[in-house]
Amino acid sequence: TVEEAVSAMADGARPVAGGTDLVVGARQGKAPLPESLVAIHQVDELRRVTIEDDRIRLGALTTHEEIASHPLVVERLTALADAAAIVGSHATRAQGTVGGNLMNASPAMEVGGPLMVLGGTVTLRSTDGERRVAVADLLSGPGQTVAEPGELLTDVEVPLPSDGTGSSYARLEYRRQMEIAIVGATAAVTIADGTVTGAQVAITALAPTIRLVPEAGAALLGSDAGAAAAQAAADAAAAASQPISDVRGSADYRRAMAAVVSRRAIEAAVARARGEAVSVPASQALFGATRSPS
């Protein structure tokens, strides 16, 4: 049960479910396995997906495959479906969970940006009770969250957006499988009577954590969501980036591509807000697989 899990965590155990980050990281020497683990993969309470009038609640053990194929997610929270559909390989998507992905806190994780722009919150439970934290406030650094020792993420709650809202997640990738974002961007745009009345943009793999860029959303508000506004918002997203250099791309390359990826995510979100068809996952529809820069 959840109560048994948090009791074990109070004694120093670390939860493990799919293990696609924890176990793989240990095998690669990134971090040793904790001395004590508590297996939570059979806690039914954490597997439930519930729908209320204006929101959807995903249990922490909901897999990426379940998210990507859920009809309501695909229809109303499309950016989240975009992201979940391209996490790792099919085996990873079938095993990896939304709770584990969030708590791993990778700056390049796929679902973080969509959950931020869509206003997602998580429940953190411990032996002392529970509290809700916005996904935008959950990540505190690479591999770090604001969760206290002994707190278990039990669910993710996402409000259903208003009519006229479209969202999209796009990433730059070198291949279609077993890849993580080199550069990623998420946009959610609400259009009423031809004018943008709501907008949020987040960037992925471009800073120590996934982050919202308020300046990018502000560049879209009140506009007709045309090319000039989309470019201004994309430029604002790029200006907020703090990329690093690694084996997958230099900081300069990531910075140059930040505006490109952001603009394409924004344009796809706008198209969806207008009722136009953009297939899921949008990333492959917009980019396909690309070659590594020479």
d(CA 215, CA 63): 33
Residues of the chain where predicted confidence (pLDDT) is lower than 50: 289-294
- For residues 85 and 283, what is the distance between their CA atoms, to the nearest angstrom? 10
CATH number, domain of 211, equals 3.30.390.50
Length of the chain: 294
pLDDT value at residue 174:
65
List % helix, strand, coil for the chain (3-state, nearest 5): 35, 25, 40
Give per-residue pLDDT as tens, 130-152.
999 999 999 999 999 999 999 99
Model confidence pLDDT, tens digit, residues 248-288: 889 999 999 999 999 999 999 999 999 999 999 997 666 65
pLDDT at 248: 80
pLDDT recorded at residue 289:
42
User: Phi/psi of residue 100, each to 5°?
Assistant: -65, -40
Report the CATH number at residue 153.
3.30.465.10
3-state DSSP call for residue 101?
A: helix
* Structural domains of the chain, count: 2
- Integer Cα distance of 178 and 166 in angstroms: 27
What is residue 92's predicted lDDT score, i.e. its pLDDT? Answer: 86
The answer to whether 170 and 82 have CB atoms below 8 angstroms apart is yes
Residue 294 lies in a domain: no
Q: Which domain holds residue 219?
A: 165-286
Q: Which of 152, 148, 64 minimizes the C-alpha distance to 114?
A: 64
Domain boundary among 102, 131, 159: 159
pLDDT at 291: 36
